[in-house]
Amino acid sequence: TVTNIILPNNTTIVGVASAAAGSATSINVSMPYTGDINNNNTYTVEYKLSASGTWSTWASNAAHIASPYTTTITGLTAGSTYDVRMTYNDTDGVTGTNPQTVANIVMPILDMTPPAQINNLDVNTQYMRGLKLQWTAPSDVKADNSTGSVSSYDFRFIDAVDYPTNMTQTNFNTYWNNASYWGGGSLLKAAKEPTPASVGAAQYFTLSCAWNGSDNNTCSTAEGEKILWPNTLYYVAMRSSDDRPNESVASNVTNPMSATQASHTALKYGWTAFSLPYNWGSAGGSETLANIFGDDLTSGVYVYRWDSTGVTETDGSWVEVPSTTLLTPMANGIANGKGYYIYSFDYNSILDKEGSTVAENSANYVKVDLELGYNMIGNPYLKNVPVDGNTWVCKGSTFNASTGCSGGTIYTFAGAVTANWLGNSVYYYANATGFSSEYYTSAKLRPWWGMWIMVTSDPTLGAPLDPDGSVIFVIKKP
């Protein structure tokens, strides 16, 4: 005799089914069970507004072979209240409470309101390697219509890839997350962004470098991103986000052309290579270096130009440009597109044109007379000038400020390198006491910078020992 034979349990023994809001518009359903050895049970899930008597079917006789059966009801309305009815189906029978209903499931209210725009981003202090920013912590309307603080900040910055008139809040919004920006640059995300304060609090943040792409507290190692350059025009805007996250529109953009929002980094203490991104002669011969920079350099204005005597960087001497001489065109070697050295006895001195009458260059082309050896050039415009494609070397040519060079021998920068007229790099002192360089294909002439190019002794060029106009460097307005 065989006793205590246990037959397979093909019936479904229900567990405690559950239904709960998974998001503002969805409900997660779970239906556990035991038994159903022959795996033939099915499930039906229905839902309705708690105030309505009409059920809608989400799943009907859905097959399932493992406990629990799960599904997610989607497409619901935020802020509404729902009931969910869950039914186990098994031809072999169902043991336990069936169906089971979970009533009055309240869907969260979806926060669709972004934080308020920050409209008072300003520069509190300008440093050689950074900009101390200030603004008022914004408010955010929460899902329950209460007002609270934002959750995070996002700062973006760029140097002068375009003219100030195009550096607008609208354009920053358009290109905020794009890999490339108008003018061939890109909006860089700041590293070490601060935590938001309570609504209405004054906040400060020193922008010093770009984010490395993974850790907010670590700077990029790329040149021009690992730390801000001195004597450089930067444009900065910020956004804030709440905890959903909804993101605000971009703030106002700091403007290095404005005396009250000057996001122009300071000179180095001591010597800085510089140029004027305006027209030296636009004041009609009524300005001096002291007029233009006397309010920026309180200990005196000391400007020097390089007089080359050979092909190496040591062949030549520095010649002072008197600060009280009227700046008629080419007076004492002062010329548009030419670079100089200026000395600052103070920390955090900032060059600008405030208080003077010099104006932006309107000419389409500017020329610089070249001489043998190292020549310091500059950017006569308020936008970065790509060296490759926007500069030329002309020999024995006629120059016109509207059309550039004609006649003689004309080379692009690339052509001049190939012809062995120019070295293949542009040099600058922006990051150290020694030279840094950019290969000409990626180099840019930046507003307010003085940069070096090397003119060779190639006999087909015949560069003069003193600049006489026979060989010129031409810069096109970008």
pLDDT in tens, 85-114: 999 999 999 999 999 999 999 998 878 889
pLDDT at 96: 95
Which CATH code fits 12-106? Answer: 2.60.40.10
Q: Which two tokens stand for residue 472?
A: 């010129």
Residue 387 DSSP code:
H
Bond prior to 99 in cis (omega within 30° of 0): yes
Residue 275 bridge partners (DSSP):
none
Q: Where are the alpha helices (DSSP H) in 278-322?
A: 289-293
Please give the radius of gyration of the chain, using alpha carbons only, rounded to the nearest integer. 35
Burial letters 282-319, b for 16+ CB under 10 A, else e: bbeeebbbbbbbeebbeeebbbbbbbbeeeeeeebeee
pLDDT at 157: 93
- N-terminal to C-terminal alpha carbon distance within the chain: 103
Q: Which two tokens stand for residue 203?
A: 């906040």
- Closest C-alpha among 242, 236, 230, 311 to residue 271: 230
d(CA 353, CA 257): 9
Rounded-to-10 torsion of CA 304, 429, 463, 393: -110
- Whether 12-106 and 122-241 share one fold: the answer is yes
> Which sequence spans correspond to the domains of the chain?
12-106, 122-241, 270-476
pTM of the model: 0.79
> Class of the 122-241 domain?
mainly beta
Q: Going from the first residue of the chain to its last (478 residues), give the mean pLDDT of each consecutive group of 10, the final group possibly shorter.
A: 61 96 94 93 97 93 91 94 97 95 92 91 92 95 86 94 86 83 75 96 96 89 88 94 92 72 83 91 80 90 93 92 76 83 91 85 94 96 94 98 97 98 90 76 94 95 91 96
d(CA 61, CA 89): 7
For 222, phi then psi, to 5°, come to -75, 150
